[in-house]
Amino acid sequence: MENKQQHPLVSAIIPTFNRGWILREAIQSVIDQTYQPMEIIVVDDGSTDETPSLLHAFGQQIRVITQENRGVSAARNLGIRASRGELIALLDSDDLWTPEKIDRQVAFFNDHPDAMICQTQEIWIRNGKRVNPKNKHKKRGGMIFEPSLELCLVSPSAVMMHRTLFDLKGFFDERLPACEDYDLWLRISTTHPIHLMDQACTIKRGGHDDQLSGHHSLDRYRIAAIEKLLDTDALTPEQRRAAVKVFQEKTAIYGQGCIKRGKIDLGKHYLAKGKKGYAPGA
């Protein structure tokens, strides 16, 4: 992109499933963006609540794509592939954007023509009250592969990225019911800096019962994401050493936890997986 004379189309992708009780505010926060033109795509992942009628009420302001329930990764991927924008912005259906969010990120890309992905800071709301993230959750910018191994440091709702990055790194892994974003950010951060903007332009709302992260043991899927990378030649020797270390730590903790909960075979499986033979720097 060449300095601020560029004014690309931005596509906002909102996947949703039975979020009629909170979805309207998310969509409205995109419609209210100061930046235009915006393409707003909502992918209804087989909702059975009032979501279809809610979406119909927005009329031509949004484009609605409906699929049978296949999960958030499939919904995001469908929306991304159907989009036309040069820049892709993701928004989870329980989160919000401040009105200047897209304006600020497009300006960032205009000022940093080599950047492929950036995210904003966030305001965290839990059960209706503002909270401060713990130190381990604080966002970092730049080449963040190593610190991202422990836990996800990138939020889908805060991200904007060039659509060509999906061609380079692939889409969300539809086999993962959780940590699908962790998996993608790891793949990206092996070679690309994930830039961090100082402004808090994303409002991340949590604490409700239907959050996916509340229904899964997340380390199981983090282990799967790291293992996928270790089975490729995508990592530098330094990245491989860091990935092996975290992989071994997580498989040991998860395996021991399974055994304590009486899932003996599963626990032994993960303990053996951790000793699979990955050698640091191999």
Determine the Cα–Cα distance for residues 177 and 225; give it in Å rounded to an integer: 12
| Cα 121 from chain centre | 14
Rg (CA), the chain: 19
Determine the Cα–Cα distance for residues 274 and 282; give it in Å rounded to an integer: 15
Determine the Cα–Cα distance for residues 204 and 94; give it in Å rounded to an integer: 8
Write out the chain's pLDDT in tens, 282 residues.
344 458 999 999 999 999 999 999 999 999 999 999 999 999 999 999 999 999 999 999 999 999 999 999 999 999 999 999 999 999 999 999 999 999 999 999 999 999 999 999 999 998 888 888 777 778 889 999 999 999 999 999 999 999 999 999 999 999 999 999 999 999 999 999 999 999 999 999 876 666 555 445 799 999 999 999 999 999 999 999 999 999 999 999 999 999 999 999 999 999 999 887 676 554
Which two three-digit tokens encode residue 204? 């991340």
Determine the Cα–Cα distance for residues 232 and 123; give it in Å rounded to an integer: 36
Q: Kindly list the domain boundaries of the chain, sorted by start residue.
A: 10-210, 218-273
Determine the Cα–Cα distance for residues 241 and 246; give it in Å rounded to an integer: 9
Angle at 18 between CA 177 and CA 41, to 5 degrees: 85
User: Hey, is 87 helix, strand or coil?
Assistant: strand
Write out the E strands in the chain.
Answer: 10-16, 38-44, 63-66, 87-90, 96-97, 117-126, 129-131, 159-162, 195-206
End-to-end CA distance of the chain: 38
Fill in the DSSP letter of residue 34: S
Backbone angles phi, psi at 41, to 5 degrees: -115, 120
10-210 folds as: Spore Coat Polysaccharide Biosynthesis Protein SpsA; Chain A (3.90.550)
